[in-house]
Each structure stands twice: as C-alpha cells, then as structure tokens.
C-alpha cells in the first residue's frame, strides 16, 4: 500500500494526498454533510474507499456527495465504488457530464491512452461561477479549461483555499494535449492561470502532490512551462507520451520491453501522436519514450522488464 498522507488544510477541509495514478481526495466535513472531491483511479478503488473511511478521515460519518474537478481516470475512477458503498450522488462539471453521458473514451482519455474506469451515473452538474455549499462552507466553482477543457476548480473565500485539480500543481500542471486545438488549449490554460492569479490564496490543494501555500511561486513556474510548450509543441508531444506511458506503467506495474513495439502500435494515443509529430516505426517511438524515462530515472529495467522506479 502506498503511503497516503492525511493533511488538515483549514477547518472542515482536509486532503488525502495520494500519488500520480490516484488524484488526491479532498474531504470536506461539516455538520450537515461530508463531501469528497475526486476519487482516484478505478483499479485502486478499494484502497480509496479504505482511506476515505479511515478514522482520521470520514470515521463513522457517511459520505453524502462525490464531486469531480474533471473526468480523467485518475480523478473519477473511484466514483462508481464510492457511490455504491454510500448510495451517495455524484456531481460533475456540466461539460464533463456530456463526455460521461456519451462515455467518450477518446476525450476521457480511457482506452485512447490505455486507461480504465468503471462507468458511473451522476445526479447533477455544476457550472462555472456556480456558488455551492459543500460541508458547512460556501464554495465558488471556477472554469479551469486547458489541461481538460471541461474542468472546474473550487474556491473557498473565507479560508482562501483553492482546490485546483490539474490546473495548477506546485510544479506545473496536467498535460496539455497537442494533437488538436493546441492553440485553444494553451490559451485556455493561460487564462486559467491568470484567473488563479487574481484570487487571494492561503492554500492550494492540487490534484497531485501535497497542498502548498506559495501560489505565486507555483504560478510563476506554471507560466514558465506554458511558454516553453507554446514555443515547442514537439517537446510538449514528447512530454505527453512520457506521461501516458508512465501512467500505464504505474497501473500495470511492469511491462516487457519486447512487447513495447506492439503496444505502441496498438494504443491509439501513440499512433496518433506518431502520425502527427514523430513519423517513425512504433519500435523507435517506444525506444524514444522509454529511453528518456530510463535516463531520467523514472523507470528502471531489470531482465528485459520495465517498472516504475517508485514502486
Ligand atoms: Zn487530469
């Protein structure tokens, strides 16, 4: 079991910090209700359930509502299991709900990137600029397009806490896909960062990594990365493929090196990126992606098998 840390951020707001495969769970506990924002990856849903039910989290309370910042597999993967366990409703960003209605596995980055999620139903939707009550606190939903064009962030003005999802991490933000509408996505991400810059922030709870207080520093780093991606879409494409592969390797735990050419041929994201950016045999693309990950130390190789260095 990975080490998950449970951190109190403000009265009634805590975060269970997970890893790269599972987004963090933001737990909002009030007298009236308990809510969780984002539910991790589907294959780890039982562990998510155990962490959320633990004594230092929900304890003997029940979960009353699940909310998502966006519907990538590492954020909504536990929705079905939590809704089943607690009989609680799920609330989605309104534009993400359309993808879930259609179960658009391309836009949801599911089989497109060799990721899985159990299908779930939702009760209602949240729109940008909605004010909503979660726990005992008033929150504002803010549009956060860029990494995911349908994403929302949640801001709590009294404690000045921002739940940023993948729109802002302490070092960077979620990948921006370059295969279509790249300029639109980059401009949207820039607008999202500028929107964050206007907020008074005491703490950011990101989708991945520990909560942090220095929003200014994180924003400066995010703007720097965004400018680098704008200047070099090929670099962005390489970064995306490394992220997709790393995610799949974390989910699968290991992959045989000799199976990689077939894998890179079969999984759609590699085919699509290859056709647009790299134009080389699948085996060479696999060598490029895994070679960079091996050199950076993120992946290790033993007896012809690749594995994440951290597991
Ligand atoms: Zn995401």
Give me ligand 1 centre to Cα 74, in Å: 7
In which domain, by residue range, is 247 found? 233-308
Q: Return d(Cα 171, Cα 7) in angstroms, integer.
A: 19
pLDDT of 2 reads 58
Q: Return d(Cα 103, Cα 41) in angstroms, integer.
A: 16
Q: What are phi and psi of 66, to 5 degrees?
A: -110, 135
pLDDT of 310 reads 79
Give me ligand 1 centre to Cα 72, in Å: 5
- Residues 6+ positions from 308 with CB-CB distance below 8 Å: 246, 249, 250, 253, 298, 299, 300
Give me ligand 1 centre to Cα 109, in Å: 9
CA distances in angstroms from 194 to 42, 223, 241, listed in the order given: 32, 9, 27
Three-state DSSP at 296 gives helix
- Model pLDDT for residues 49-107, shown as the tens digit of each residue: 999 999 999 988 999 999 999 999 999 999 999 999 999 999 999 999 999 999 999 98
pLDDT of 24 reads 97
Give me ligand 1 centre to Cα 284, in Å: 27
Beta bridge partners of 90: 66
Shared-domain flag, residues 53 and 95: yes
Shared-domain flag, residues 135 and 275: no
Give me ligand 1 centre to Cα 304, in Å: 31
- Model pLDDT for residues 170-224, shown as the tens digit of each residue: 999 999 999 999 999 999 999 999 999 999 999 999 999 999 999 999 999 999 9
Give me ligand 1 centre to Cα 206, in Å: 11
Last residue of a domain, one of 178, 202, 231: 231
| CATH (domain of 258) | 1.10.10
Give me ligand 1 centre to Cα 275, in Å: 24
Give me ligand 1 centre to Cα 166, in Å: 5
Q: Return d(Cα 70, Cα 146) in angstroms, integer.
A: 11
- Model pLDDT for residues 123-167, shown as the tens digit of each residue: 999 999 999 999 999 999 999 999 999 999 999 999 999 999 999
* Structural domain count of the chain: 2
């Amino acid at each position: 079991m990975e080490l998950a840390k449970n951190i109190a951020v403000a009265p009634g707001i805590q975060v269970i910090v997970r890893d790269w495969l599972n987004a963090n769970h933001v737990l909002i506990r009030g007298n009236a209700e308990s809510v969780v924002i984002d539910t991790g990856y589907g294959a780890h849903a039982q562990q998510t359930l155990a962490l959320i039910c633990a004594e230092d989290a929900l304890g003997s309370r029940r979960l009353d509502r699940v909310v998502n910042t966006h519907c990538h597999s590492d954020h909504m993967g536990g929705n079905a299991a939590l809704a089943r366990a607690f009989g609680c409703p799920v609330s989605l960003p309104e534009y993400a709900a359309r993808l879930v209605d259609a179960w658009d596995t391309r836009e949801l980055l599911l089989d497109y990137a060799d990721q899985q999620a159990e299908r779930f139903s939702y009760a209602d939707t949240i729109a940008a600029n909605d004010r909503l009550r979660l726990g005992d606190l008033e929150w504002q939903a803010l549009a956060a397009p860029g990494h995911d064009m349908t994403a929302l962030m949640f801001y709590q003005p009294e404690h000045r806490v921002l739940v940023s999802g993948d729109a802002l991490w302490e070092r960077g933000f979620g990948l921006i896909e370059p295969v279509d509408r790249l300029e639109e996505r980059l401009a949207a991400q820039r607008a999202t960062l500028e929107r964050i810059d206007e907020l008074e922030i005491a703490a950011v709870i990101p989708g991945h990594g520990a909560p942090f207080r220095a929003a200014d520093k994180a924003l400066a780093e995010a703007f720097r990365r965004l400018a680098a991606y704008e200047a070099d879409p090929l670099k962005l494409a390489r970064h995306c493929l490394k992220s997709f592969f790393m995610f799949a390797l974390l989910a699968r735990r290991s992959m045989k090196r000799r199976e990689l050419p077939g894998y890179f041929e079969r999984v759609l994201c590699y085919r699509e990126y290859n056709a647009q950016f790299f134009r080389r045999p699948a085996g060479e693309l696999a060598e490029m992606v895994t070679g960079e990950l091996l050199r950076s130390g993120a992946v290790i190789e033993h007896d012809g098998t690749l594995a994440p260095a951290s597991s």
